[in-house]
Amino acid sequence: MKVTLSRLACLLALFVFLNTAGARRPNVVLIMADDMGYECVAANGGLSYETPRLDQLAAGGLRFTNCYSTPLCTPSRVQIMTGRYNAYNYEEFGYLNPDLPTIGHLMQEAGYATMIAGKWQLNGISHGVDKFDRGSDSSRPGDAGFDEWSLWQVTEGKKSGERFWDPLIEENGKRLQAELAGTYGPDHSTDYICDFIERKSDEPFFIYYPMALVHDPFVHTPDSTSTELTKQEAFVDMVNYCDNLVGRIHDKLAAEGLLEDTLIIFTGDNGTPRQIVSKIAGREVTGAKGQTIDDGIHVPLIVSWAGKTPVGEVRDQLIDFTDMKATLFDLVSAHRDESARALTLDGISFLPTIEGNSGLERQWVFCHYDPRWGQFRTQRAAFAYDGRVKVYHDGRVIDVAEDVMEKNPLADDAVSPAVLAQLRSALAQHPAFPAVESEFQQPHR
């Protein structure tokens, strides 16, 4: 009888292995809005914008209430691409060292077709190509692990062409501008993504969409009823249009029958611009982009994977941007080939939560912020934060729940000794700032 059970167990194990090995690897669509804080999503309690498609995505999946980015766009992009804190990889604003392994490489090595569309900003062009010998290399996104790309700000900056109306986009190494006259850049990016989904529907794919929306300039969208808008009015339309584009991608996945095969992640790269005022849950939020206060780093996170994610669940689990790559690694690690490059990751995978299971959860988030950019240049800081108490590298202790603007640092004895010890230990694990200061001057925007 024991032999029979043993054979049955072996056959069952073989059956499970063969079916798992033959199962389709899940597609991944990672969407990151530009300058869209937590308060911009109605499902989060936001009262100033209409986001029905994001709300629908949250209702059918998971909504996280404690996701934290860095306060500024390039630092967040470098962190999400590498899965490491900026203490180890942030060299200059607008620059990603081409030798660093990215999420694109990770997914390529797992056999995925990869593409990126939207805003690049990682060639170092803001500092001049003489200081970054590959700054004028239009193939850099391909070198970063993406088979296809359709991007603004690769080798030419803002002065050469905008991201919205009459956009300048570089697509797979080709400069597009005259061909896009009269068009809206985010529409082109979304159309390219939808085309990629259709073309790659029979194979696993990874799409990274760092959107141009909702960053300034604050201008009308194709859905605006007027071209003459205040900044606040234009921003409302831009948030609403961002929501519309997320819906278009979701609808394309549905049309291709891929929703059950696709993990969709939506987030924002930092807080809302300072010129913008929004309302959420009984308080008014003045945008805090560039600042380390909660409104500068608290961003939306919505995850949907039909048939996998718990439906309509809200989690207060702490997430930071290093966790994105760790989660994707967890998702595809079994499929990486033997030649895959070694990875060092600072994040913690939240895939167990996505799949409705329990797993390791972080007790704090860490931020190294050395922006090296414009008006934010002097706002260097490092902190550890448990979602309520924040401890800075200079010793400041803040109870964010009671002091959201961080005006009144606490004495050590006003905080639990255990909490204080944990957060100071977290800070001590990472260098606060690099030893060598930047040699570059403030770049033009």
167 assigned to some structural domain: yes
Q: Is the Cβ–Cβ distance between 328 and 28 less than 8 Å?
A: yes
436 assigned to some structural domain: no
- Domain boundary, last residue among 363, 395, 412: 363
372 assigned to some structural domain: no
- Within 10 angstroms of residue 273's Cβ, the number of other Cβ atoms is 21
Tens place of pLDDT for every residue, the chain, 445 residues? Answer: 333 444 444 444 433 333 444 567 999 999 999 999 999 999 999 999 999 999 999 999 999 999 999 999 999 999 999 999 999 999 999 999 999 999 999 999 999 999 999 999 999 887 766 556 667 889 999 999 999 999 999 999 888 999 999 999 999 999 999 999 999 999 999 999 999 999 999 999 999 999 999 999 999 999 999 999 999 999 999 999 999 999 999 999 999 999 999 999 999 999 999 999 999 988 999 999 999 999 999 999 999 999 999 999 999 999 999 999 999 999 998 887 766 777 889 999 999 999 999 999 999 999 999 988 777 777 789 999 999 999 999 999 999 999 999 999 999 999 999 999 999 999 999 987 643 343 333 332 2
Are 339 and 196 within one domain? yes
Are 259 and 318 within one domain? yes
- Domain boundary, last residue among 338, 363, 388: 363
Are 187 and 290 within one domain? yes
16 assigned to some structural domain: no
Full-model pTM: 0.91
374 assigned to some structural domain: no
Are 268 and 336 within one domain? yes
Are 233 and 329 within one domain? yes
DSSP 327-386: HHHHHHGGG--TTPPP--------HHHHTT------S-EEEEE---SGGGTT--EEEEE-
pLDDT in tens, 413-445: 999 999 999 999 999 999 876 433 433 333 322
As for how many domains the chain has, the answer is 2
Are 399 and 337 within one domain? no
pLDDT of residue 342: 74
8 assigned to some structural domain: no
Are 255 and 400 within one domain? no
Are 169 and 77 within one domain? yes
pLDDT of residue 136: 82
Q: Where are the alpha helices (DSSP H) in 102-184?
A: 103-109, 140-143
Domain harbouring 225, CATH code: 3.40.720.10
Are 157 and 64 within one domain? yes
Contacts for 370 with CB less than 8 Å, ≥ 6 apart: 75, 86, 90, 380, 433, 434
**Of the candidates 410, 225, 384, the residue with the CA atom closest to the CA atom of residue 318:** 384
Across 128-274, where does the E strand assignment appear? 148-152, 169-171, 174-176, 205-210, 262-268
Are 179 and 222 within one domain? yes
Q: Are strands 169-171 and 27-33 parallel, antiparallel or unpaired?
A: unpaired
Residue 404 and residue 415: Cα distance in Å, rounded? 16
Task: Show the domain range for 107.
Answer: 25-363
Residue 204 and residue 206: Cα distance in Å, rounded? 7
Secondary structure of 237-268 as H, E, C letters: HHHHHHHHHHHHHHHHHHHCCCHHHEEEEEEE
Are 32 and 105 within one domain? yes
Are 405 and 340 within one domain? no
Residue 49 and residue 239: Cα distance in Å, rounded? 7
- Domain boundary, last residue among 363, 396, 415: 363
163 assigned to some structural domain: yes
88 assigned to some structural domain: yes
